[in-house]
């Protein structure tokens, strides 16, 4: 099998596949983007990511995506840590401390679904991107010269698409990763997280647009999304033995919300779902001409909002390298650097931070809880410490560290 094509085949029109496709196409690289969902169900995806960190906004801006999503999101410079057991605000972190580090000293609360909707419009309009919706990637093969991706359309018609490189932006269940027999190292938490979407303005109780709430029995996260109607997302832990349906009965959802914040009358619940949380990193991010990016390479707990953000950072790192390879400015060995850089970030930043975040929120020992809260309070109150904390929580430090990796 040989292929002299310079085309990059990207599997998956998630945030990672779309950002990669746009960055490549804008540098004159021909891209084929394969997405299994069709026009009719592309926007029917369960709620997932939504907090976009400063460095990610900078990358969105580079491809012209920021100006499309900013009006659909909420600019949130401040986030909170709360102690639910004491009903008290522990610390408020203000991204203004990053004003000399980024053009975007805030996060943008804008859901994944809005991001991919806008990015897909851009991808379809770009002459260098061949977008194949309702097309499922099934397998691939590669040689020293190229790759061939096998896909099937809705009617079951098969096609073989030739290219120079294949990038898996397929998400956690990546066929490419499994076909390459790459171990997905890590673990899965035994308990699932319950997500409730509710139309109620929690700001009237002092909450910020983005809140991490510790509690020895029931930690939670609380995030605001722009409507209409304006919605808040509340995450709660569940027990491994809990019944899925019982957890999501309307009266059970109301009871949970009322226990979290009692109020007269029912909450207006817009939806709910349960999700399983994994902490895993692929042992390799690349074999030959097949490369993993985003959730296909690493998955983590959403506490800290790092999965999509770090996946988008993979996409831009990889785009820069593929562009230079295809222009023959550098050799393929730069793809090994991609793996060294982005695997380091996945293990040392994304995994480490999100696991630490969960531990802090779920801590049961009163002495450790007090120590954690005192430390957060001190950090938020000292501008130097607050900046260092925010550089890490917003993944800017991860990008700076990756730059130092040869
Ligand atoms: C509740 C929740 C909240 C989260 N919040 C945040 C947050 O605030 N910030 C953050 O950074 N991250 C967050 N995350 C993580 C984030 O959602 C993921 O990291 C991100 O969506 C990964 O993007 P991706 O493009 O790699 O994969 P996905 O978003 O999973 O996209 C993969 C795409 O590939 C397509 N596909 C899959 N298989 C095939 C195939 N065989 N053929 C063709 N197409 C295929 C899928 O249909 C999909 O469109 C959250 C996750 C959850 C569960």
Cβ of 295 closer than 6 Å to ligand 1, yes or no, is: yes
The residue nearest atom 20 of ligand 1, judged by CA position, is 308
Name, in order, each residue with C-beta under 8 angstroms of 300's C-beta and a sequence gap of 6 or more.
277, 278, 279, 280, 306, 307, 346, 350, 351, 354
**Whole-structure pTM value:** 0.97
Distance from Cα 171 to the centre of ligand 1, integer Å: 5
Cα three-residue angle 164-167-170, rounded to 5 degrees: 150
Rounded to 10°, the helix 15-25/307-326 angle is 30
Give me the residue label for tokens 């945030």.
Answer: 15
Cβ of 137 closer than 6 Å to ligand 1, yes or no, is: yes
Pocket-testing residue among 108, 278, 290, 307, ligand 1, by greatest number of atoms within 8 A of Cβ: 307
Cβ of 73 closer than 6 Å to ligand 1, yes or no, is: no
Reading the block at residue 169, the tokens are 């932006």
Predicted confidence at residue 1, as pLDDT, reads 47
Cβ of 304 closer than 6 Å to ligand 1, yes or no, is: no
Predicted confidence at residue 4, as pLDDT, reads 60
Distance from Cα 157 to the centre of ligand 1, integer Å: 26
Cβ of 17 closer than 6 Å to ligand 1, yes or no, is: yes
Predicted confidence at residue 254, as pLDDT, reads 98
Counting from 1 in the atom list of ligand 1, the atom nearest the Cα of 296 is 26
Counting from 1 in the atom list of ligand 1, the atom nearest the Cα of 34 is 43
The residue nearest atom 27 of ligand 1, judged by CA position, is 171
Cβ of 294 closer than 6 Å to ligand 1, yes or no, is: yes
Counting from 1 in the atom list of ligand 1, the atom nearest the Cα of 295 is 26
Q: How confident is the prediction along the chain (406 residues), in pLDDT tens digits per residue?
A: 444 689 999 999 999 999 999 999 999 999 999 999 999 999 999 888 899 999 999 999 999 999 999 999 999 999 999 999 999 999 999 999 999 999 999 999 999 999 999 999 999 999 999 999 999 999 999 999 999 999 999 999 999 999 999 999 999 999 999 999 999 999 999 999 999 999 999 999 999 999 999 999 999 999 999 998 899 999 999 999 999 999 999 999 999 999 999 999 999 999 999 999 999 999 999 999 999 999 999 999 999 999 999 999 999 999 999 999 999 999 999 999 999 999 999 999 999 999 999 999 999 999 999 999 999 999 999 999 999 999 999 999 999 999 999 9
Q: Which long-range contacts (CB under 8 A, 24 or more apart) does 217-224 make?
A: 218/84, 218/259, 218/260, 219/84, 219/358, 219/361, 219/362, 220/84, 220/260, 220/361, 221/302, 221/303, 221/361, 223/50, 223/51, 223/109, 224/74, 224/76, 224/109
Give the C-alpha separation, 113 to 238, whole Å. 25
């Amino acid at each position: 099998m040989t292929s002299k094509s310079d085309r990059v085949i990207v599997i998956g029109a998630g945030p990672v596949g779309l950002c990669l496709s746009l960055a490549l196409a804008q540098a004159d690289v021909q891209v084929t983007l394969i997405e299994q969902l069709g026009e009719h169900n592309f926007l029917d995806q369960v709620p997932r990511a939504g907090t976009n960190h400063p460095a990610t906004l900078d990358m969105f801006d580079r491809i012209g995506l920021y100006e499309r999503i900013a009006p659909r999101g909420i600019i949130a410079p401040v986030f909170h840590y709360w102690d639910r057991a004491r009903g008290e605000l522990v610390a408020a972190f203000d991204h203004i401390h990053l004003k000399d580090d980024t053009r975007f000293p805030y996060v943008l609360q804008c859901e994944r679904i809005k991001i991919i909707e806008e990015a897909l419009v851009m991808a379809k309009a770009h002459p260098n991107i061949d977008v194949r919706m309702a097309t499922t990637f099934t397998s691939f093969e590669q040689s020293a010269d190229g790759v061939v991706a096998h896909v099937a359309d809705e009617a079951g018609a098969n096609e073989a698409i030739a290219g120079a490189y294949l990038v898996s932006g397929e998400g956690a269940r990546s066929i490419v990763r499994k076909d390459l027999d790459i171990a997905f190292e890590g673990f899965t938490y035994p308990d699932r997280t319950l997500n409730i979407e509710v139309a109620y303005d929690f700001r009237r109780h002092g909450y910020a647009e983005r809140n991490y709430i510790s509690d020895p029995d029931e930690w939670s996260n609380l995030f605001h999304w722009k409507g209409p109607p304006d919605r808040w997302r509340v995450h709660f832990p569940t027990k491994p033995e809990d019944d899925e349906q019982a957890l999501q009965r309307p009266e059970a959802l109301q009871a949970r919300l009322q226990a979290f914040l009692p109020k007269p009358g029912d909450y207006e619940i817009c939806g709910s779902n349960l999700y399983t949380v994994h902490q895993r990193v692929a042992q390799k991010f690349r074999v030959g001409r097949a490369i993993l990016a985003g959730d296909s390479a690493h998955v983590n707990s959403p506490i800290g909002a790092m999965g999509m953000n770090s996946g988008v950072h993979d996409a831009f790192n990889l785009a820069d390298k593929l562009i230079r390879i295809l222009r023959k400015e550098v050799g393929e060995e730069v793809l090994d650097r991609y793996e060294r850089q982005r695997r380091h970030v996945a293990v040392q930043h994304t995994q480490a931070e999100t696991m630490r975040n969960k531990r802090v929120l779920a801590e049961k020992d009163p002495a450790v809880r007090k120590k954690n809260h005192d430390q957060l309070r001190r950090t938020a109150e000292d501008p130097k410490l607050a900046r260092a904390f925010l550089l890490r929580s917003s993944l800017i430090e991860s990008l700076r560290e990756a730059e130092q990796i040869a």
